[in-house]
């Protein structure tokens, strides 16, 4: 088992590029990760990495060993999944990622309940509004809101979510309520944007009578945290473009008001994506079934005011 642990650490160091990141991912200290790499190099009798002050790059031996080691770990994972299917007791670890707001409201709160039902399955949750690289980060399931284009992943749609434009009454009193989407352009209004490296949210797609139309809006505030955008909107700092279920409580109590009802944003898809090879893993199917039913129910309850 120690040798297998060493191989697992080696694979994650190659994929993430440094010991600290691999250690965090595997819940061990950088010192432990370093020792496991040294043990593996001693066992193989070769140097696996060229070390710099900032990054570890695999040597030629390391690159060759990584290819075989990756296949070994995948084979073990598939074998464990097959045993879980036969025994009816799926076990193992699932790495999950989700956007911050959606993850806090819908995913994180369901994991303890999932764990109660399946105590042999461990779930590791990472929340981020950044577009996490599933393959590089070793993610098993990613819950996403938005356009999903990666053809290398399988997709399970959960539901289509209505989006709205909204602002605080104080903001609308000060700036005036826009009568058309064109008024969002220029300097008259402040649009609050979700932005991060690689983000595509530099425009809003609105449903016009002639069809969807792209509006390149802007404003003085942007962030990589969707909940921060909501906080700014509540403080009267601008207009947000949000899935309705995320801000329904504020719309219901009047702290936010929907604007431009006749030309709303295009709906956003709520889905789970995962690597093709994970389809046959019973613990992945259990998590997808559990979360899909739970998220649909919770979103409907929020929209119904329950």
**H or E element in which residue 259 lies:** strand 257-259
pLDDT tens sequence across 293-302: 999 999 999 9
Is residue 257 helix, strand or coil?
A: strand
What is the overall mean pLDDT for the chain? Answer: 86
DSSP assignment of 228-254 equals: HHHHHHHTTS-BEEEEHHHHHHHHHTT
Is it the case that residue 53 has pLDDT exceeding 70? no
User: Which of 52, 85, 118 finishes a domain?
Assistant: 85
Is it the case that residue 75 has pLDDT exceeding 80? no
- Whichever domain contains 52, its CATH number is 1.10.10.10
Q: What is the extent of the structural domain holding 131?
A: 89-160+269-303
More confident residue, 151 or 26: 26
Residues 208 and 119 in one domain: no
Region of residue 173 (left: phi > 0; alpha: psi -120 to 50; beta: else): alpha
pLDDT tens sequence across 254-269: 999 999 999 999 998 8
Burial string for 178-198 (b: 16+ CB within 10 Å, else e) reads: beebeebeeeebbbbbbeeee
Lowest-pLDDT choice from 106-110, 123-127, 137-141 = 137-141
Residues 131 and 279 in one domain: yes
Lowest-pLDDT choice from 169-178, 225-234, 270-279 = 270-279
Residues 149 and 80 in one domain: no
Alpha-carbon distances, residue 175 vs 70, 167, 184, 190, 238 (angstroms): 57, 11, 11, 9, 9
Please state, as a whole number, how many other Cβ atoms lie within 10 Å of the Cβ of residue 108.
15
Q: d(Cα 113, Cα 293) in Å, to the nearest integer?
A: 13
Lowest-pLDDT choice from 100-104, 144-148, 202-206, 217-221 = 144-148
What single-letter DSSP state applies at residue 278?
G
Nearest-Å Rg of the Cα atoms of the chain is 23
Average pLDDT over residues 62-66: 87
- Whichever domain contains 129, its CATH number is 3.40.190.10
Q: In this predicted structure, what is the pLDDT of residue 196?
A: 67
Residues 72 and 93 in one domain: no
Phi, psi (rounded to 5 degrees) for 96: -125, 145
Residues 125 and 148 in one domain: yes
Is it the case that residue 86 has pLDDT exceeding 70? no
Alpha-carbon distances, residue 50 vs 18, 21, 55, 192, 226 (angstroms): 11, 17, 9, 44, 39
Is it the case that residue 134 has pLDDT exceeding 90? no
Domains: count for the chain: 3
Residues 78 and 203 in one domain: no
More confident residue, 131 or 207: 207
Average pLDDT over residues 1-8: 82
Is it the case that residue 279 has pLDDT exceeding 80? no
Lowest-pLDDT choice from 36-50, 104-118, 136-150 = 136-150
Q: d(Cα 259, Cα 98) in Å, to the nearest integer?
A: 28
């Amino acid at each position: 088992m120690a040798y297998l642990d060493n191989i697992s650490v080696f694979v994650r160091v190659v994929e993430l590029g440094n010991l600290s990141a691999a250690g965090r991912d595997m819940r061990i200290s950088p010192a432990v990760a370093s020792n496991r790499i040294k043990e593996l190099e001693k066992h193989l009798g070769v140097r696996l990495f060229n070390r710099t002050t900032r990054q570890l790059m695999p040597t030629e031996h390391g690159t060759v060993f990584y290819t075989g080691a990756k296949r070994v770990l995948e084979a073990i994972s598939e074998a464990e999944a097959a045993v879980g299917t036969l025994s009816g007791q799926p076990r193992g670890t699932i790495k999950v990622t989700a956007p911050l707001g959606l993850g806090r409201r819908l995913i994180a709160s369901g994991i303890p309940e999932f764990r109660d039902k399946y105590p042999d399955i461990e779930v590791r949750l990472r929340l981020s509004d950044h577009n996490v690289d599933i393959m590089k980060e070793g993610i098993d399931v990613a819950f996403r809101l938005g356009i999903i284009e990666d053809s290398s992943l399988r997709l399970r749609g959960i539901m289509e979510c209505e989006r709205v434009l909204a602002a605080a009454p104080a903001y609308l009193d000060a700036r005036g309520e826009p009568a058309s989407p064109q008024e969002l352009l220029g300097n008259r209004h402040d649009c609050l944007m979700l932005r991060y490296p690689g983000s595509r949210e530099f425009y809003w797609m609105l449903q016009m009578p002639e069809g969807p139309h792209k509006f390149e809006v802007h404003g003085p505030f942007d962030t990589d945290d969707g909940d921060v955008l909501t906080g700014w909107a509540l403080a009267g700092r601008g207009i947000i473009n949000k899935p309705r279920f995320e801000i329904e409580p504020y719309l219901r109590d009047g702290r936010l008001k929907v604007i431009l009802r006749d030309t709303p944003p295009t709906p956003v898809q709520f889905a789970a994506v995962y690597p093709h090879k994970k389809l046959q893993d019973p613990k992945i199917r259990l998590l997808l079934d559990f979360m899909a039913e739970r998220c649909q129910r919770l979103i409907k309850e929020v929209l119904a005011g329950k």
